[in-house]
């Protein structure tokens, strides 16, 4: 069942690379403040689908609508500011934590004040880290900075590409719980890619299963995983 | 004509070329013992290099009596060949040939024109073509280095670049450090040549001028002039090529397409 007022809707979204379909005609809709988890085995096209939503890659067929508008009509930079993304590997820029937090808004000529930077860092439990050099951060700290950096753009939709898969188990749950709090507090629409079905159940209101680039099932975690278990 | 070709100087030149080629083959043989196989490429390069330079030498003999504008045609042909060579070296970069052509024509062409206008390079064919070709050849090498390094940097930092794009950065902004690295790397040979001039090496042009009877001090100064022109033309070429290739690394929708 599709949400009645989708903020994001894909229509036969597809991508073919090297003659092989990696995202195959996916149509789905996500409502405002909804959390959707994309689950599937390695190579199922989860991350490729997410990259299409941020338009880091170009669809070879179909399109995506943001609040009813074809996203190809939105300038790419404006689109990416509205549709934030946190990658599996955080790829921080050389410099301080504050430099990284300020990066997104600075692209639009907006310099965040020290107070705003501190506030963003406190949201990810990194108060006092502003002046630290990113080279000295642990994996968990770096991923928190990447999350705060994405939030600094004030996105309407947050795309999370396996945000905890590169982290130790002990830190995984901590980051996941932090993300959950942030998504709820900001009423963010969120699409998270994960291969961890337990994480999808904990985190999302709906789950979409991808296999070989195709959407095979979508619904509440109970509907999707219940149905899989009984089949 | 045949008398000229078969005179003792040509025979001497061919014998000397043979000995120089033997030294090259010896190095290739040594490399082979380390399982580095360069025979085919080196042999082809030796044959091509000797054939091409002999053709150019013969053309120069014919052109001594040709009108001056023919030197421009020759330099234009050399620029095309240099762009094609550069593009072959950077074949995984989309549009490498037009980028190299515009860059070498703009970089080396501007410096040649300016210096010929100022009287630093003589406008006679025997001066303009050899000096111009030196500038074009060095611009070609620097351009090849710049394109190759730029691509390597992009491949090594794809994640960082896409992280910047995902945050709404302008594509050009995301590759600034990699353009700088490529530009600096491309100019290292030209800088080192200038830095070591006279201490580590006495370049061929100066040696040739001295052998043909020019005063050694003037020959030395003119060698400096040529190396400074090489630096200028290589620098300008790479400035143009890195600017052009930076644009081609991204699609119209600001996606990184150079992988």
Q: Which residues of B touch A112 (CB under 8 A)?
A: none
Of the candidates B159, B168, B256, which has its C-beta nearest A77's C-beta? Answer: B168
Q: Which residues of B touch A149 (CB under 8 A)?
A: 167
- pLDDT of B7: 66
A-B interface: how many C-beta pairs under 8 angstroms? 63
- State the pairing for strand pair A157-161/A83-86: parallel
Residues of B with CB under 8 A from a CB of A: 159-160, 162-170, 173, 251, 253-256
Q: Which long-range contacts (CB under 8 A, 24 or more apart) does B248-253 make?
A: B248/B93, B248/B94, B248/B95, B248/B99, B249/B150, B249/B154, B249/B171, B249/B175, B250/B171, B251/A58, B253/A55, B253/A58, B253/A72, B253/A76
Q: What is the pLDDT along chain B (259 residues), one digit of tens a residue?
A: 445 555 677 788 888 888 898 999 999 899 888 888 888 888 998 999 889 888 888 877 777 777 888 889 989 999 999 999 998 878 778 889 999 999 999 999 999 999 999 999 988 888 898 899 999 999 999 999 999 999 999 999 999 999 999 999 999 999 999 999 999 999 998 898 888 887 777 777 788 888 888 888 888 888 889 889 999 999 999 999 999 999 899 999 999 998 7
Hey, are the CB atoms on A103 and B159 less than 8 Å from each other?
Answer: no
pTM of the model: 0.81
Of the candidates A58, A84, A85, which has its C-beta nearest B253's C-beta? Answer: A58
Which residues lie across from A61 on neighbouring strands? A14
- State the pairing for strand pair A214-219/A206-211: antiparallel
Extract the tokens encoding B18.
Answer: 């043979």
Report the gap between the CA of A231 and the closest CA in chain B (Å): 39
Sorted by sequence, the CB contacts under 8 Å of residue B182 that are 6+ apart come out as B145, B146, B147, B149, B150, B153, B238, B242
What is the tens place of the pLDDT at every residue in A173-222?
Answer: 888 888 889 998 888 999 999 988 988 998 899 999 999 999 999 999 99
Hey, are the CB atoms on B168 and A78 less than 8 Å from each other?
Answer: yes
Which residues lie across from A86 on neighbouring strands? A160
Q: ipTM for the complex?
A: 0.90
Of the candidates B163, B168, B255, which has its C-beta nearest A57's C-beta? Answer: B255
């Amino acid at each position: 069942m599709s949400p009645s007022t989708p903020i994001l809707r894909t229509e036969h979204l597809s991508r073919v690379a090297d003659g092989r379909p990696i995202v195959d005609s996916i149509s789905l809709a996500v409502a405002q403040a909804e959390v959707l988890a994309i689950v599937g085995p390695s190579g199922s096209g989860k991350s490729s689908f997410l990259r299409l939503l941020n338009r880091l890659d170009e669809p070879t067929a179909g399109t995506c609508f943001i609040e009813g508008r074809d996203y190809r009509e939105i300038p790419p930079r404006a689109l990416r500011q509205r549709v934030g993304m946190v990658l599996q590997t955080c790829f921080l820029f050389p410099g301080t934590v504050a430099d990284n937090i300020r990066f997104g808004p600075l692209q639009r000529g907006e310099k965040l004040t020290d107070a705003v930077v501190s506030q963003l860092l406190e949201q990810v439990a990194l108060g006092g880290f502003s002046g630290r050099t990113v080279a000295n951060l642990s994996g968990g700290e770096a991923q928190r900075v990447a999350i705060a950096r994405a939030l600094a753009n004030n996105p309407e939709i947050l795309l999370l590409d396996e945000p905890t898969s590169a982290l130790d188990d002990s830190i995984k749950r901590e980051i996941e719980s932090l993300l959950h709090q942030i998504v709820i507090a900001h009423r963010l629409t969120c699409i998270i890619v994960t291969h961890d079905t337990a994480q999808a159940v904990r985190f999302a209101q709906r789950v979409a299963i991808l296999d070989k680039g195709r959407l095979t099932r979508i619904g509440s975690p109970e509907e999707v995983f219940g149905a899989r278990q009984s089949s | 004509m045949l008398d000229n070709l078969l005179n003792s100087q040509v025979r001497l030149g061919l014998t000397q070329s043979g000995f120089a080629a033997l030294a090259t083959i010896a190095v290739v043989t040594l490399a082979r013992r380390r399982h580095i196989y360069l025979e085919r490429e080196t042999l082809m390069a030796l044959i091509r290099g000797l054939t091409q330079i002999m053709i150019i030498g013969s053309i120069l003999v014919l052109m001594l009596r040709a009108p001056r504008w023919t030197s421009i045609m020759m330099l234009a042909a050399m620029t095309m060949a240099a762009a094609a060579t550069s593009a072959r070296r950077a074949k995984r970069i989309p549009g490498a040939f037009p980028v190299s052509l515009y860059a070498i024509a703009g970089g080396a062409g501007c410096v040649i024109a300016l210096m010929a206008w100022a009287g630093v390079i003589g406008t006679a064919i025997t001066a303009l073509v050899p000096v111009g070709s030196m500038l074009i050849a060095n611009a070609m090498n620097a351009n090849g280095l710049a394109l190759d390094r730029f691509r390597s940097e992009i491949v090594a930092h794809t994640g960082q670049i896409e992280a910047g794009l995902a945050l709404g950065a302008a594509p050009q902004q995301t590759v600034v450090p990699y353009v700088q690295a490529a530009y600096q790397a491309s100019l290292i040979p030209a800088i080192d040549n200038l830095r070591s001039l006279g201490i580590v090496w006495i370049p061929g042009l100066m040696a040739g001028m001295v052998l043909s009877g020019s005063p050694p001090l003037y020959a030395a100064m003119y060698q400096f002039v040529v190396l400074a022109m090489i630096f200028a033309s290589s620098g300008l070429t790479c400035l143009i090529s890195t600017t052009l290739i930076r644009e081609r690394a991204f699609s119209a929708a600001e996606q990184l397409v150079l992988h």
